[in-house]
Amino acid sequence: MTILKIARMGHPVLARRADPVPDPTAPEIRALARDMIETMIDANGAGLAAPQVHVPLRLVVFQAPGERTDPGLSEAERFDHTAPLTILANPVIEILDEIREAGWEGCLSVPGLRGLVERPAHIRYSGTDLDGNAVTRIAKGFHARVVQHECDHLDGVLYPQRMGDLTRLIFESEVRHHLQPQD
Domain with residue 175: its CATH number is 3.90.45.10
In a domain, 6, yes or no: no
Catalytic residue among 77, 101, 105, 150: 150
Please state, in angstroms and rounded to a whole number, the distance separating the CA atoms of residues 11 and 22.
24
To the nearest 5 percent, what fractions of the chain are helix, strand and coil? 30, 35, 35
Over residues 41-65, the mean pLDDT reads 94
- pLDDT one-digit tens code per residue, 148-158: 999 999 999 99
In a domain, 5, yes or no: no
Q: Which residues contact 71 (CB under 8 A, 6 or more apart)?
A: 104, 175, 176, 179
pTM of the model: 0.89
In a domain, 174, yes or no: yes
In a domain, 145, yes or no: yes
The number of beta carbons lying within 10 Å of the beta carbon of residue 68 is: 14
- Please state the domain count of the chain: 1
Concerning whether 150 is annotated as a catalytic residue, the answer is yes
Please state, in angstroms and rounded to a whole number, the distance separating the CA atoms of residues 97 and 50.
28
The pLDDT score that the predictor gives to residue 77 is 43
The parent domain of residue 66 ranges over 12-179
